[in-house]
Amino acid sequence: MTSRTRLLTAGAVTAAVALAGAGVGIASAAADAPPLAFSLATPNVTAERYVYGDEVYLYLDLGVNVIAGKDPFEVRATRKSYADPIVAQQYVVKNGKRKAVALPAGMVTDWNGLKDFTTVTIKDASGAEVANYQTDFCPNDYSSTRTRRDAPADTPYPQGCNGYNPFNLGAVWGIQAGWNAGIASMPDKENFDLAAGTYTATVSLNQKYRDYFKIPADQATAKINLTVETVREDERGIETAKARVQAAKAGDDTSAKVAAAEHGEHAGQGNTALQVAAYDPAFRPPAKAPRAMKLSSLASGPRPDLRSLPAWGISMSEEDGKTFVNFGATVWNAGTSPLLVDGFRRTGTELMDAYQYFFDAKGKEVGSVAAGTMEWDAREGHRHWHFTDFAQYNLLGADKKLAVRSGKEAFCLANTDSVDYTIPNAKWRPGNTDLSSSCGQNTAVAVREVLDIGNGDTYTQDRPGQSFEVTDLPNGTYYIEVKANPSNKLTELSTSNNTALREIHLGGTPGARTLEVPSVHGLD
């Protein structure tokens, strides 16, 4: 199966074809480039629709991009509280100075990027319109690269806009100077399809963005000759195609999404956690355990600050005659230092001694203290090392007393969510974002697990033993408690913000229970 929509060009695919004389190409010098350019990779695109039985998935990439000019394009979005709206500012350079300028109302309404950025119109060979829809724009493109020779070698900006967590607090979106970000080609709806054949697609920057970014009308529209071909797949191939289409719609890292196996634990960063044996050596600490130090012997300095978000994605399920409440839980680091925990294996056992490490204001390691243990989890769907003292999930009664405790008591730390990248020293491009990078394998002698500043670690609890069994609980009001650092074995700036409660209501009758989840200031 071809891995993605084919871009048919006579020259290099990476060279941007200028739109209406815009002059944006790989050889353009920064001084000649407009602040933002709307560019097209090729006027001829072939899309593939993957078919298996009654299942059809169209993968469409029209190859339209936004390219930043002399300066980076950067937007920061934040909200004071869950009761407040999201406010977005663009950071621009004027007269050599960087300043924040508020974006007009309506451009940013959620965490998915710029709202209704483009309009896509598709007509068939007879000229009849077969599709017309608007797409949002996420500047944090996973496939972003530099488009001219004099552009900076690296980009500092995050990957993905991560709009799925309702309790995000702040986001940073950007395109490095001279780099590109692809514009979404598909509508955000299920079962979008085009029959095999030839079409003309028109992608237009919507008027409010043309006006605000001062992009002339004749440089804000791209026309593409589109050919759609049908590809017959087997059962395995159609699942891969489905993952690719879903990732493309969400603006995720398509290659990681396709490689990911289904996993009942982590969710985040647009990636399902990878169940693979591979382990990034960069996250392997020295095999020898350090000498334990007293915390008092370490100079006061940066510390992590673990905070819990309200439980989200709450649902009810039935299995083997039992009723369960499923939920997602996120703990994030709002501190001044990453949480870094190294585990050192006790030879011949499936236990590691865990140590938390500390750093000074310049990032230099200054010491460590004992922080509990890590254990090998050999169960299907796990098969990695878990840190045992990170979080705890409880279901409390109306009186706030324990009713049910989740069986989830150990964790593999990974930066799955960008909760607030606007706080000082937030790590915009964390290295360990899935289980393959940070959780090790059974042959490991040591493991490093990290939760960086501004990032969260989300677990979805939808398995018996981890979700709450409520089969015999009486109807009434309950609270899902997400509690970070439950045994206070980790050292942080404050423990007063470690707990978050989310109210739920159980009703119905045995075998037909009901679940009501009140919103949090309109957030679900």
CA-wise closest residue to 192 among 255, 90, 97, 120: 120
- Residue 422 has a pLDDT of 97
Find the mean pLDDT for residues 198-224. Answer: 95
- Residue 411 has a pLDDT of 74
Pairwise CA distance, residues 254 & 520, whole Å: 32
CA-wise closest residue to 260 among 240, 278, 245: 240
- Residue 464 has a pLDDT of 66
Pairwise CA distance, residues 508 & 355, whole Å: 47
Pairwise CA distance, residues 347 & 443, whole Å: 11
Pairwise CA distance, residues 323 & 308, whole Å: 26
- Residue 284 has a pLDDT of 67
Pairwise CA distance, residues 164 & 138, whole Å: 13
Task: For 440-497, write each residue's pLDDT tens digit.
Answer: 777 778 888 889 999 999 988 877 667 899 999 999 999 999 999 999 999 999 999 9
- Residue 5 has a pLDDT of 40
Least confident of 147-161, 204-218, 252-266: 252-266
**Where does 79-179 show beta strands of DSSP type E?**
87-94, 97-102, 114-124, 129-137, 170-175
pLDDT(1) > 70: no
Pairing of strands 44-52, 221-232: parallel
- Residue 203 has a pLDDT of 97
- Residue 263 has a pLDDT of 37
What mean pLDDT is reported for the chain?
Answer: 83
Structure tokens at 310: 């309200």
Residues forming a β-bridge with 335: none
520: number of CA atoms within 13 Å, CB side? 18
Longest alpha-carbon distance in the chain: 78
pLDDT-above-90 percentage for the chain: 57
**Which band of pLDDT confidence, cut at 50, 70 and 90, is reported for residue 438?**
low
Structure tokens at 193: 């399809």
Give pTM, 2 decimals. 0.84
Pairwise CA distance, residues 31 & 367, whole Å: 47
**Which band of pLDDT confidence, cut at 50, 70 and 90, is reported for residue 16?**
very low
pLDDT(310) > 60: yes
pLDDT(37) > 70: yes
Pairing of strands 97-102, 170-175: unpaired
- Residue 18 has a pLDDT of 36
- Residue 410 has a pLDDT of 64
Pairwise CA distance, residues 393 & 398, whole Å: 16
Task: For 87-110, write each residue's pLDDT tens digit.
Answer: 999 999 988 899 999 999 999 999
**Which band of pLDDT confidence, cut at 50, 70 and 90, is reported for residue 269?**
very low
pLDDT(436) > 90: no
